[in-house]
Amino acid sequence: MATYSVYYAGISLNTHQKYSIAQAITKIHAEVTGAEAYFAQVIFKQLDQHDCFIGGVLLDEPHIFLNGQIRLGRSEQMKKQLLVELEIAIQKASKLASQHIWAYIDELPPGQMIEYGQILPGVGDENSWYATLPANIQQRLSILNS
């Protein structure tokens, strides 16, 4: 239900760092939003530093850009908390200074998202949605959530 895309340039992230960031993003998303951990997915994409510009000027310092797509319906306070905690976790795992980590939250109406073969539920309707999933998907999600 939440897709976090981690774009990075001018820095190399090893598998351990990616794992740490993915685990932290998943944990923070679950704790802040109250959603189950299996609702968060994290995708990494390394960018060529020569393909990144800020203010029309070629990027000359390492950066991480996080774009999180979440379901519409979270409070402003919750989204701010999510951004702050995500930035701190990425800073810790990457060792970059905070000014080199930029994060964004985009909200999508649940009716415009499909995962596990089902249109996603509104915030607070996750249990009803989960109950409609086939048993094999429920089993897989239970494993992901543990």
Give the domain extent around 135. 2-145
CB-based burial label for 6 (10 Å; 0-12, 13-18, 19+): buried
How many other CB atoms are there within 10 angstroms of residue 126's CB atom? Answer: 17
Decide if pLDDT at 72 tops 90.
yes
Query: Measured between alpha carbons, how far is 8 from 4 in angstroms, rounded to an integer?
Result: 13
Q: Quick one: pLDDT band at residue 143, thresholds 50, 70, 90?
A: confident
Decide if pLDDT at 2 tops 80.
yes
| Long-range contacts of residues 31-34, Cβ cutoff 8 Å, at least 24 apart | 32/78, 32/81, 32/82, 32/85, 33/2, 33/70, 33/74, 33/78, 33/82, 33/123
What is residue 125's three-state secondary structure? coil
Q: What is the pLDDT of residue 56?
A: 95
Q: What is the pLDDT of residue 97?
A: 96
Is-contact 111 100, C-beta < 8 A?
A: no
What share of the chain in percent tops pLDDT 90? 84
pLDDT per residue as tens digits for the range 12-50: 999 999 999 999 999 999 999 999 999 999 999 999 989
Q: What is the pLDDT of residue 106?
A: 96
Decide if pLDDT at 142 tops 90.
no
- CATH code (residue 117): 3.30.429.10
The total number of structural domains in the chain stands at 1
**What is the residue whose two structure tokens read 């959603």?**
35
107-126 mean pLDDT: 91
